[in-house]
Amino acid sequence: MEVIIQPNPSDCAAAGARIIGKLLEAKANAVLGLATGSTPLPLYGELVRMNRAGEVDFSGVTSFNLDEYIGLPGDHPCSYRYFMEQELFKDINIEPGRTHVPDGLADDVGEHCRAYEQAILDCGGIDLQILGLGSDGHIGFNEPGSSLGSRTRIKTLTGETREDNARFFDSIEEVPRHCITMGVATIMECRQIVLFAFGEAKAEIIATAIEGPVSAMVPASALQMHPEVKILLDEAAASRLKQKDYYKEVFAGKPSWQCF
């Protein structure tokens, strides 16, 4: 696990975009795992800029999103399909048929989840997964207590998660109670993972996930066991890390061949 601390979210986004750009330069048909919510917005803005400038090409890319609300059609303004179309897909040269988001209206949710897992395998697996971090330590919608061996499945959202997401709806009553999400084990099979977290409100859970014990009660802590994880934090989110100065020293002293 590499912890990278930058002054602000914009610098984190630029660093993350360079990581993705380096991957696509080496592998034009890479498979990307994507996330929604406010955290990845600076990253997506930077990727749009780079694509328009001819610095990165998405024409051969396939994408899989982490999750979707059950009960929302893809054209609902609060659905994650709609989010991705508005915030990224419509502004880059990715083929629409190569973008995958779980279907919140699937007739058979269990079968749809199995098919989603199979589609990832059929594409050769996810090369790089983007993650945000919930205030309770969830990744995707893998809430505290989720099995670390879990696969794509239906999950019931906690009250805390629904409250956190209520800002995107007119009221908390409109926030769905169920979702489809990639499992922790599905995420852990991705070849590379880049997690972003910003702000003082994420500082405590970041410290727990990075420097605390691995526990199903903090699903993000499972990332400690992954061989290729980068954690991109602004100064506020990194403020409670005990090893903060060491992480900065490591990043500043990276050999040239490891830089991005």
* DSSP string for 49-74: HHHHTTS---TT-EEEESEEETT--T
In a domain, residue 132? The reply is no
What is the total count of domains within the chain?
Answer: 1
| Catalytic residue status for 136 | yes
Active-site residue (options: 46, 67, 117, 164): 67
pLDDT (tens digit per residue) in 98-147: 999 999 999 999 999 999 999 999 999 999 999 999 999 999 999 999 99
Active-site residue (options: 46, 103, 143, 164): 143
CATH number, position 85: 3.40.50.1360
In a domain, residue 97? The reply is yes
CA angle in degrees (0–180, nearest 5) for 115-146-112:
15
In a domain, residue 20? The reply is yes
Integer Cα distance of 130 and 229 in angstroms: 10
34 touches 130 (CB < 8 A): yes
Residue 128 has a pLDDT of: 99
Active-site residue (options: 136, 160, 189, 204): 136
Integer Cα distance of 25 and 23 in angstroms: 5
In a domain, residue 14? The reply is yes
67 touches 40 (CB < 8 A): no
| Catalytic residue status for 67 | yes
Pull the structure tokens for residue 170: 């007119």
pLDDT (tens digit per residue) in 44-98: 999 999 999 999 999 999 999 999 999 999 999 999 999 999 999 999 999 999 9
Where residue 256 falls among pLDDT bands split at 50, 70, 90?
Answer: confident
Q: What is the DSSP letter of 27?
A: -
In a domain, residue 60? The reply is yes
In a domain, residue 133? The reply is no
Distance of CA 131 to the CA centre of its chain: 2
At a CB cut-off of 8 Å and minimum separation 6, what does 224 contact?
1, 210, 214
Active-site residue (options: 68, 100, 117, 138): 138
Residue 260 has a pLDDT of: 72
Instruction: State which residues form the domain around 150.
Output: 2-125+138-190+204-255
Q: pTM of this prediction?
A: 0.95
In a domain, residue 77? The reply is yes
